[in-house]
Amino acid sequence: MSSINGLTRRHFQRWMESYCRASAENDPRASANLFAENASYYETPFADPLIGRDAIYEYWARGAQNLKDKESNFEILSVEGTRGIARWKSKFTVIESGKRLALDCLFVVEFKDGGLCQIFREWWHIQERNDG
């Protein structure tokens, strides 16, 4: 991705589309490649972050082994400076239990030069679904 002085809505849209595609395809390498080499990834606000692309890859690789039938969409809420905010909604099936779950998330994504994510913060709520 190109150099970034100020984040554009178009760049954030393309980044979110790539994130969505990597998730749907269970592709941990494609996901990790969206992040800077030394990026911080906060899965929840109170947890210590994953640090670095390798840790993000391992996190996504574990998830890819446990989830299937993923569907997701997003809405961009804000783009300012080098930060984008999006609402992310996802449904998936946990392979081991067969449970269908839904996530409703808020992402705050900060970018650096090169257009890669430097800091990723996520807030989410999960719910079991019966509607598939």
Whether 91 is in a domain gets the answer yes
Does the pLDDT of residue 106 top 70, yes or no?
yes
8 A C-beta contact, residue 77 and residue 85: yes
pLDDT value of position 131: 64
Kindly give the pairing relationship between strand 83-94 and strand 117-129: unpaired
Looking at residue 29, which CATH number applies to its domain?
3.10.450.50
Whether 43 is in a domain gets the answer yes
What residues make up the domain containing 19? Answer: 9-129
Segment 52-80, tens digit of pLDDT? 999 999 999 988 788 899 999 999 999 99
Does the pLDDT of residue 1 top 80, yes or no?
no
Whether 104 is in a domain gets the answer yes
Whether 3 is in a domain gets the answer no
The answer, as to whether pTM is greater than 0.95, is: no
Whether 1 is in a domain gets the answer no
Does the pLDDT of residue 4 top 60, yes or no?
no
Our count of domains for the chain comes to 1
